[in-house]
Amino acid sequence: MSLVFKAFRNALFSVGLALAVVPATAQLAQAETEVNIVEGYAVHGYDVVAYFTQDKPVVGDDRFTASHEGANYRFASAENRDLFTADPAKYAPKYGGYCAFGAAMGRKFDGDPNAWAIVDGELYLNLNKKVQARWKENIPGFIKGSENNWPLIRSIADASLEASTPEGVTIGAQ
């Protein structure tokens, strides 16, 4: 086998390997930007079912976990985990657990598990209690703004959103 052929074969193998790895890496990066994951868990490891069943934030337990849309969730009990796996859309927070006010502003801020609200059967998180107080001044308007913006920003990292606002994003309550 000639030296030129070996070099060509190795180059082709490298290109093929790169083409196989890039889509997998892109999918992982997209999942990480669409769901707010902190220390390996969505919602900082809080039990999303407990917001609905206990009307308060409850820290989850590593013994009770489930995955949904590329994110890992923790639960306080096996019962809560099973409720989640039966209907994850019912319990998963809106906007991937990012701040609802931030989504209305065209940004993806962290969602604080202690700054939460259930509105029309949906779990919303905000950056902190101060931001949540502002959000509560016009919940329907901010939800409308977030619903407009989320499809446009969901797959974009916040650092990119800070640098440039995507076309079609509206700022604030609608």
**3-class secondary structure for 121-148?**
CEEEEECCHHHHHHHHCCHHHHHHHHHH
Dist CA 25 CA 22 (whole Å) = 5
Residues 102 and 171 placed together within one structural domain of the fold? yes
Q: Which of 45, 68, 92 finishes a domain?
A: 92
Residues 169 and 98 placed together within one structural domain of the fold? yes
Contact 27, 69 (CB under 8 A): no
Dist CA 109 CA 167 (whole Å) = 19
Angle 25-109-163 from CA coordinates, rounded to 5°: 70
Return the closest-CA partner of residue 124 out of 40, 41, 62, 36: 36
Residues 27 and 45 placed together within one structural domain of the fold? no
The tally of domains found in the chain comes to 3
Range of the domain at 6: 1-34
Residues 130 and 82 placed together within one structural domain of the fold? no
User: How many C-alpha atoms does 106 have within 13 Å on its Cβ side?
Assistant: 15
Residues 128 and 171 placed together within one structural domain of the fold? yes
Residues 105 and 174 placed together within one structural domain of the fold? yes
Question: Is the confidence at residue 74, as pLDDT, over 50?
Answer: yes
Model confidence pLDDT, tens digit, residues 8-59: 455 444 444 444 444 443 443 444 579 999 999 999 999 999 999 999 999 9
Model confidence pLDDT, tens digit, residues 88-127: 999 999 999 999 999 999 999 999 999 999 999 999 999 9
Give me the pLDDT at residue 33, please: 72
Structure tokens belonging to residue 120: 């029309």
